[in-house]
Amino acid sequence: MKEKLEQIRAAVESALKNADAMEALEDIRIKYMGKKGELTAVLKGMGKLSPDERPKIGALANEIRQKLEREIDERKTAIAAAIEAKKLEDEVIDVTMPGRKNDEGKLHPLTQVMNELKEIFMGMGFSVADGPEVEYDYYNFEALNIPKNHPARDTQDTFYIADNIVLRTQTSGMQVRVMEKTKPPIRIIAPGKVYRSDTQDATHSPVFHQIEGLVVDKNITMADLKGMLEMFVKKLYGEETRVRFRPHHFPFTEPSAEMDYSCFNCGGKGCGVCKGEGWIEILGCGMVHPKVLANCGIDPEEYTGFAFGIGLERIAMGKYSINDLRLFFENDLRFLEQF
Ligand code: DAH
């Protein structure tokens, strides 16, 4: 009996040495001291011993049991501490590591310029009208006094979707859409994409942006047009900026003009930006043609109006000294990040 106990003690001690996880310790405890454990079996068999053996063996068995329990407890505590220490080590934060940079999105340069122009016009009492890019021939051409076979159609190489449906070549069609629905006084801008079947190069793109403007009321004159557009340019490029109007022709305005402004770079002396001219073209404009007013159900005897069309890309190119239009549409981050 005594030998059996010593064997158990030796077996447990060697098993404990190799146990390095909580589960292994628990297995050892169950194997020797569980209900059906080996040490438990010895203790249960004590009744069969002679009365003088019983106390000695009993004492030894108890001593072994207590010792094993204590050792298992100690080992459990040690393992728990080791697990905790490992966890802390794994979770350690090195506060000297460099931070991770979050790249912030930005507005596209064209959107930024568009927003700036909208702000200026809204500040002058204009509201913003929105319309379709896939447009009826009627709005894009016909109602704007550009009938079929009119030479002006050749200057705007058109993407046709169907016989009478186009990708709008200009935002001017919005004049008609607005006038059909609204009674004067009218004061709107209509910004958006337009399409022309141009081969792309540094100054041409099959898609670009325009902002259309329209003012219709009683007694609107060319003087209103000139005053308003001059004020717009001064807000955009600064108070010292001057403007000039050159006669031009558009089918939907009469008279028509193109407006130039004194070069923002050289102030009019002539430089690389304005190609030595001192002036840069910014928009087309004119008094709304009486036929166009009539097409929209507005009596040209009672009302007059002016209209203008601004190319957005050209303004953005001037503003940021960009010499290739394609950069706006390639979405190269190295370009976009600069704005
Ligand atoms: N739609 C013209 C173009 O694309 C620009 C334009 C000129 C618009 C004169 C107008 C205007 O409203 O009055 O070239």
Whole-angstrom distance, CA of residue 56 vs CA of residue 45: 14
Residue range(s) defining the domain that contains residue 32:
2-90
Is 25 within a domain? yes
Indicate if 70 and 216 belong to the same structural domain.
no
Mean per-residue pLDDT of the chain: 91
Nearest-CA residue for ligand 1 atom 3 is 170
Judge if 49 and 197 occupy the same domain.
no
- Whether residue 32 is found in the same domain as residue 168: no
Closest atom, ligand 1, to C-alpha of 306: 13
Q: Specify the 3-state DSSP secondary structure of 3.
A: helix
Report the separation in Å between the CA atom of 4 and the middle of ligand 1, taken as the mean of its atom positions. 109
Domain check: are 279 and 250 in the same one? Answer: yes
Residue 141 shares a structural domain with residue 281: yes
* Beta carbon of 251 within 6 Å of any ligand 1 atom: no
Residue 211: how many other CB atoms lie within 10 Å: 23
Rounded to the nearest whole angstrom, what is the distance from the C-alpha of residue 289 to the centroid of ligand 1?
Answer: 12
Pair 282, 202 in one domain: yes
Cα distance between residue 183 and residue 190, in whole Å? 17
Task: Report pLDDT for 185.
Answer: 97
What are the residues whose beta carbons fall under 8 Å from the beta carbon of 299, sequence distance 6 or more?
A: 293
Would you say the CB of residue 146 lies under 6 angstroms from ligand 1?
no
- Identify whether 96 is part of a domain: no
Answer yes or no: do 43 and 80 share one domain: yes
Residues 195 and 299 occupy one common structural domain: yes
Clarify whether residues 192 and 327 are in a common domain: yes
Helix (H, G, I), strand (E, B) or coil at 231: helix
Q: What is the Cα–Cα distance from 58 to 313, expressed in whole angstroms?
A: 101
Q: Are residues 114 and 84 in the same domain?
A: no
Kindly provide the b/e burial profile for residues 166-181, where b requires at least 16 CB atoms within 10 angstroms of the residue's own CB.
bbbbbbbbbbbbbbee
pLDDT for the residue numbered 309: 98
Q: Which of 90, 120, 142 is the last residue of a domain?
A: 90
Instruction: Choose the final residue of a domain: 90, 120, 137.
Output: 90
Residue 95 falls inside a structural domain: no
Query: With a 6 A CB cut-off, is 145 part of the ligand 1 pocket?
Result: no
In a domain, 98, yes or no: no
d(CA 312, CA 322): 13
Instruction: Measure 307 CA to ligand 1 centroid, in angstroms.
Output: 8
Please check whether residue 221 lies inside any domain of the structure: yes
Q: Is the CB of 172 under 6 A from ligand 1?
A: yes
Ligand 1 contact via 284 beta carbon (within 6 Å)? yes
Which residue among 150, 158, 172, 216 has the greatest number of ligand 1 atoms within 8 angstroms of its CB, and so is best to mutate? 172
Q: Is residue 103 part of a domain?
A: no
* 39 and 120 part of one domain: no
Is 288 strand, coil or helix?
A: strand
Kindly report the pTM of this predicted structure: 0.72
Instruction: Flag whether 101 is in a domain.
Output: no
**Within a domain: 63:** yes
Q: Please tell me the predicted confidence (pLDDT) of residue 130.
A: 96
Atom of ligand 1 nearest to the CA of 286: 13
pLDDT on residue 240: 94
Count of domains observed in the chain: 2
pLDDT on residue 46:
81
Please identify every stretch of the chain with a pLDDT value under 70, giving residue numbers as ranges: 155
Give me the CATH number covering residue 270: 3.30.930.10
Judgement on whether residues 78 and 140 belong to the same structural domain of the protein: no
Q: Is the CB of 170 under 6 A from ligand 1?
A: yes
Question: What spacing in Å lies between the alpha carbon of 174 and ligand 1's midpoint?
Answer: 11
